[in-house]
Amino acid sequence: MNNAVVNEKLYTIEDVSNLYNTPLFELIYKSMGVHSKFNTVGEVQKCTLLSIKTGNCSENCSYCPQSAHYETKVENTDLLELNEVIDAAKNAKSNGSTRFCMGAAWRQVNDNNDFNRVLDMVKAVGSLDMEVCCTLGMLSENQAHKLKEAGLTAYNHNLDTSESFYESIITTRTYKDRLDTINNVRKAGITVCCGGILGLGESHTDRIELLHTLANLDPQPESVPINALVPVEGTPLANNSKVNIFDMLRMIATARILMPKAKVRLSAGRSFMSPAEQALCFLAGANSIFLGDKLLTTPNVETDLDHELFAVLGLTS
Ligand code: SAM
Ligand code: DTB
Ligand code: SF4
């Protein structure tokens, strides 16, 4: 891949493929070894998401309920007020979250008053002594610098799948656009949160290629969300089948081995998993979840159930 941010030398596609295709118990055993060497066993970070601007997005991501290209039940909103964001962040903190992630259904950031208001939100959340993350679409280097100055810790911008499958999912932007934004985030000194989604109709090869690209980012992403598709009525992928738990475990374990120090986040789709399945994901190397009844627009696991799961497994955060 011809992009300065990708270092092809670290792992070959064969390395990643061999690892990914290891028998599952052997793979998990290996990932547990890596996990315990580089992270604290049983420590799982809690993060909270807030959609600060919902729906009516000009992009056509086939999985997304917020795209203006599809008719879904999502209610479009303007950018939230600062005080609503501060209240949500305080609430997240009191529930045990140490990271607050604000998402906007934008194709890209524009240099306008809304962006200035987002900068104020970043400052305000940062002053609550939480990690602050944003996901706002494409960013220029200059905009990334402004976010950094406002105190942004991390920027989420997923590659979602392999480069070759990408155009079957999204046609309003390219893989290279994504890599360019990731590069801009890096240049501004903001940590990178970049992962993918399973269940889009991708092959195992697509997953291997995604992992290969992620693991060869130089430096590697500090945060790697692994989402399972939440099928939403009205989107082209509404009827896709549920992601198999063993596929999820394989993806998490391979990500953990390839990116030993990253926070591997068990992200969307957790509400379709039993507590035992989630426990297996933590064993395989996931060390973060989204806490709160809602992700951006879709339901998440109830907070009380998550507190119970942490207690029963003896997890810390
Ligand atoms: N507009 C910004 C962007 O696309 O980068 C930020 C918001 S977007 C909702 C963030 C990520 O959420 C996407 O990259 C995708 O991986 C994930 N996502 C969106 N809809 C999803 C769904 N229905 N199921 C699982 N993950 C989803
Ligand atoms: C990520 O990879 N997953 C989160 C976060 N980054 C922004 C978003 C999941 C969204 C799921 C669909 C929804 O609730 O709208
Ligand atoms: Fe959804 Fe983000 Fe795609 Fe917009 S750019 S449709 S918000 S995933």
Q: pLDDT value at position 7?
A: 62
Residue located nearest, by CA, to atom 6 of ligand 3: 67
Instruction: Give a yes or no: residue 81 inside a domain.
Output: yes
Report the number of distinct structural domains present in the chain: 1
Q: Give catalytic status of residue 117 as yes or no.
A: no
Catalytic residue among 193, 256, 270, 281: 193
Q: How far is the CA of 134 from the centre of ligand 3 (A)?
A: 13
Query: Does the pLDDT of residue 1 top 70, yes or no?
Result: no
Instruction: Give a yes or no: residue 6 inside a domain.
Output: no
Domain of 296 in residue numbering reads as 13-312
Instruction: Give a yes or no: residue 7 inside a domain.
Output: no
- pLDDT tens-digit readout, 72-96: 999 999 999 999 999 999 999 999 9
- pLDDT tens-digit readout, 5-16: 556 568 999 999
Instruction: Give a yes or no: residue 8 inside a domain.
Output: no
Cβ atoms 13, 191 nearer than 8 A: no
Instruction: Give a yes or no: residue 19 inside a domain.
Output: yes
Provide φ and ψ at 5, rounded to 5°.
-80, -15
Catalytic residue among 47, 101, 134, 194: 101
Query: Does the pLDDT of residue 28 top 70, yes or no?
Result: yes
Catalytic residue among 47, 61, 194, 281: 61
Q: How far is the CA of 5 from the centre of ligand 2 (A)?
A: 24
Distance of CA 34 to the CA centre of its chain: 21
- pLDDT tens-digit readout, 139-186: 999 999 999 999 999 999 999 999 999 999 999 999 999 999 999 999
Q: pLDDT value at position 10?
A: 87
Structure tokens at 219: 């430096």
Instruction: Give a yes or no: residue 202 inside a domain.
Output: yes
Q: Give catalytic status of residue 47 as yes or no.
A: no
For ligand 1, what atom is nearest to the CA of residue 64?
20
Q: pLDDT value at position 129?
A: 95
73 Cβ contact list (under 8 Å, min separation 6)? 65, 233, 234
Cβ atoms 251, 281 nearer than 8 A: no
Instruction: Give a yes or no: residue 44 inside a domain.
Output: yes
Q: How far is the CA of 247 from the centre of ligand 3 (A)?
A: 24
Q: Pick the closest to residue 192 from 228, 167, 159 (CA basis).
A: 159
Q: Pick the closest to residue 224 from 311, 307, 142, 157 (CA basis).
A: 157
For ligand 3, what atom is nearest to the CA of residue 104?
7
The CA distance from 72 to 230, in Å, is 13
Looking at residues 23-29, what average pLDDT do you find? Answer: 98
Q: pLDDT value at position 8?
A: 58
For ligand 2, what atom is nearest to the CA of residue 103?
7
Give me the CATH number covering residue 124.
3.20.20.70
- pLDDT tens-digit readout, 249-304: 999 999 999 999 999 999 999 999 999 999 999 999 999 999 999 999 999 999 99
The CA distance from 284 to 24, in Å, is 10
Cβ atoms 6, 221 nearer than 8 A: no
Query: Model's pTM, two decimal places?
Result: 0.96
Q: pLDDT value at position 22?
A: 98
Model confidence at 3, pLDDT cuts 50, 70, 90, reads very low
Which residues contact ligand 3 via a Cβ below 6 A?
Answer: 57, 59, 61, 64, 66-67, 105, 107, 137
- pLDDT tens-digit readout, 210-260: 999 999 999 999 999 999 999 999 999 999 999 999 999 999 999 999 999
For ligand 1, what atom is nearest to the CA of residue 158?
14
Residue located nearest, by CA, to atom 11 of ligand 1: 158
- pLDDT tens-digit readout, 112-141: 999 999 999 999 999 999 999 999 999 999
Helix (H) or strand (E) holding 224: strand 223-228
Burial of 152 (0-12, 13-18, 19+ CB in 10 A): buried
Instruction: Give a yes or no: residue 82 inside a domain.
Output: yes
CA 192, 193, 197, 203 torsion-angle sign = positive
Q: How far is the CA of 209 from the centre of ligand 3 (A)?
A: 22
- pLDDT tens-digit readout, 267-278: 999 999 999 999
